[in-house]
Structure 1
Amino acid sequence: MLTSVAVVAAAGLTLAGCAQSSSAADATGSDKKLTVFISADTNIQDLWQKTLIPAFEKANPGYDVSVDFDLHGLHDQQTVAKLTAATVQHKDPGYDLVDAGFVAQLAASGLLTKATPTDIPGLKDVPSDVRAAGGVGGIPYRGSSVVLAYDTKTVATPPKTLDDLLAWIKANPGKFTYNSPDSGGSGGAFVTTVLDKSVSASDRTKMVTGYAPETETAWDTGFATLAGLNPYVYQKGVYPNGNNQVLDLLSSGQISMAPVWSDQFVTGKKTGQIPANIAYTQISDPSFTGGASYLGIPSASPRQKAAETLASWLLTPDAQALVSDSISGYPVIALAKLPAPVQALFKDADIAHLRPGYFATMSADMNKAWAQKVPGK
């Protein structure tokens, strides 16, 4: 499939010209009926539909917000192509705000409206490094990291480093697993972390900030390590589909350890879906990945001002507290602006210093390579 940049080039048009068209669209963009596109797991779908949208509509009478949901981002490439085509053709893409792991890719391809504190006042309360990581047009609105969850009944002392974890997996066959990286970020974080063990700092910077396929040979050692784990993971080379399946295996006692999202874990503990005997820790050398999740406003959307209103509301203390309460997501604005219970919960979580994952197109290549080189080997 053509990348978004290639699609634009093939059409013989420039994104600069497309960006100009969005200004004209904005002149008639007073419509307050918005669509948010979400590429994520069901907990993020619920966050929007059950919590954020009702609260936003209550605080902003006259707005009507709906969701278009793609579970696990199974159609991410098609979505990027659709947004690219809409931008090139000066057509309404049907999405006014995008919540997806490929937002930075959209930003790099010039498909998003530039996000500034002038248009989105809430951005002034977000650390500059966190804003910059999303690219031009990326709007951070929540954060999370992947942690190592374990059963305290069967694991007295959890691993402290990646090497310790790999040794534990081999010493305890069948008691560890992770989901396929294309089905959820917790499995993706485990794969990324194993790969990064053999990736130089300079190559990793390229992988995180853009598309650098020439660096992918540095993954060979890590993929060999992952393939070598097949005899020791749960079901020996057959991997769960999605973050939730991994949590279910852990909660039911079928496995004793797994990488999981911090927000899903804390939420599961609150609701009782994850039993009291399951705890979590973080490994080092390297740690699992984490960071902010970004929104983007497609430059082709004719509802620019309304989309900016929604994006800015998401960065208010009230909305950030809702994210924290609903899914235990890390706030992205200054903790001092949030209620005391939220400050206490996240006092040790510095979103500006979490280890970021790969750029979207690098992650897509990683997922394909994993599928070819790891399962069943």
Structure 2
Amino acid sequence: MKGIKQSPRLGRFHALAGALALAGAALSAHAAPVTLNVVDVAGNLALTQKALEAFRDQHPDLVSNITFTNAPSPQLPGKIKAMQNAGRSDIDLVLTGTDALAAGIEQGLWLKLLPDHEAEFKDILTRYARGPARMQELAQGYGLEVTFMPAGPLLEYNPAKVQNPPKTPAELLAWCKANPNKLIYARPANSGPGRTFLMGLPYLLGDKDPYDPINGWDKTWQFLKELNDCVPYYPGGTSAVMKELGEGSRDMTVTVTGWDINPRALGVVPAEFKIQAFDNFTWVNDAHYMVIPKGVSAEKQKVLFQLLKFMLEPKQQAMTYDSGYFYPGPAIRDVPLSAAPAESQEVIKKFGRPEYDEMIARRPNAVPLDAKAMVEAFRKWDAEVGALKK
């Protein structure tokens, strides 16, 4: 209105109000819910998808949608590298085993979480139980372990056919020679139980260096070549092994906790089949990790940091008992089976092994080979053991 002069104080008030309105609009825009694209290269979604969906449902202000994709582990690092080189960010979170974790660290693909974002993940590492804590070290700060399995090596057998299960590698070799074609295991490069058996033998046989498959496994390679004489062939994956075991064409195989429980829960292997641990064995651990590729926007990073912390809370960790697929599953301490969903408790009660908890507590555990050594071990097995059947 003409002739009325605005006071300086009122002008400052209006300016401040305008600035606050702009700031509020900026905050509102920044806080818009995001879509997260999750890629699983480890079969981990069987254990975690329900928890990831729970985060979405409980935080509609942060997440509008989560897409889930399964992909082969060997192909992922190259795909992410190509996207990063093109300045694109189509994958927000990767669920991986030790293989793609290590490959991504080597190629510089993952966002460094610790110590770079230590304020976001304060005290998170103190949540891990003893065995998982050793596996978390493999992430070198580039990811957070979400599930854990002290895998094996273990033997699984048909008790109607095997009255005296082997307790040492020597006894296994003797049994195999006395019962040709009745022991089977899958090619280690394509099988968790096969891989765990391969990595567990150096401890059982007293080899020079369990972490050096080329120069430190003389006893292991000799044993596997001798065992080869009574093994019919090596299937390309564990599912085929369990099918033959369940159908009765084989009487014994190597296994790990999850591959013991889950096929029996699914009815692939008879529920009454038993397991035998080797005397004085060392658990070779397995784990899955959550990693964020470099190039993910700062806006999404903030949401992902909240998601990662959510996944390591007891309630979500209890879901990872699942149907025994990666037993026990939880990576953090103090998550008993009694905290798991009712259906998981029922499966583990019916198909689990009471002795597992005692064995996990009593026996030492070791981290698996790093990526480079594991590839070397696979190549040597393929060339010097698997090739003998061709």
TM-score class, shorter: 0.7 to 0.9
Q: Which runs of 5+ in 2 are unaligned?
A: 1-28
The alpha-carbon deviation at position 255 of structure 1 amounts to 1.1
Deviation at 1:159, TM superposition (A): 1.7
Distance 1:55 1:28, change over 3 A: closer
Letter in 2 for 1:178: Y
Q: 1:231 to 1:301 in 2, by over 3 A?
A: same
Matched, 1:166 2:173: yes
| Stretch of structure 1 that moved more, 146-155 or 322-331 | 322-331
Distance 1:313 1:132, change over 3 A: same
| Equivalent of 2:113 in 112, 115, 119 | 115
For residues 282-327 of structure 1, give each alpha carbon's deviation from its aligned partner in whole angstroms, at most 9, with x where no partner exists: 2245445224332322233333223323322221212111111333
**Alignment CA distance shift 1:52-1:340 (3 Å):** closer
User: Which letter maps to 1:54?
Assistant: E
Q: Which moved more, 1:305-314 or 1:142-151?
A: 305-314
* Helix, strand or coil at the partner of 2:136: helix
Question: Take 1:56 and 1:243, find their aligned partners in 2: how far apart are those partners?
Answer: 33
Q: Give aligned-pair identity as a percent.
A: 23
Output the aligned Cα RMSD: 3.3
| In structure 2, distance between residues paired with 1:52 and 1:166 | 44
Contact 1:82 1:93 in 2 (8 A): no
Q: Residue 58 of structure 2 corresponds to which residue in structure 1?
A: 59
One-letter amino acid matched to 1:46: A
Match of 1:325 among 322, 325, 340: 322
Shift of 1:356: 2.2
Q: Would the aligned equivalents of 1:162 and 1:285 in 2 still touch at CA under 8 Å?
A: no
Superposition map of 1:13-28 within 5 A: none
Say which structure, 1 or 2, has more relative contact order (CA 8 Å, 6+ apart): 1
SS state at 1:47 partner:
helix
Question: Counterparts of 1:169-318 in structure 2 under 5 Å?
Answer: 169-195=176-202, 197=205, 199-200=207-208, 203-205=209-211, 207=212, 216-233=214-231, 236=232, 238-287=233-282, 289-302=284-297, 303-318=300-315
TM-score normalized by structure 1? Answer: 0.75
Unpaired segments ≥5 residues, structure 1: 1-26, 208-214
Give the CA deviation at 1:156.
Answer: 1.7
For 2:218 and 2:85, the matched residues in 1 are separated by 38
What CA distance in whole angstroms lies between the structure 2 residues aligned with 1:351 and 1:320?
Answer: 23
Asked if 1:157 corresponds to 2:158, the answer is: no
Contact 1:194 1:226 in 2 (8 A): no
2:386 maps to a residue whose letter is P
How many residues in Structure 1 have an aligned counterpart in Structure 2? 331
Higher radius of gyration, 1 or 2: 2
**252-261 or 278-287, which moves further after superposition?**
278-287
Q: 2:169 and 2:71 mapped to 1: Cα distance?
A: 32
- Which 10-residue stretch deviates more, 161-170 or 79-88? 79-88
Q: Note the C-alpha offset of 1:337.
A: 7.1
Q: CA deviation at 1:29?
A: 10
- Aligned equivalents of 1:118 and 1:267: distance in 2? 39
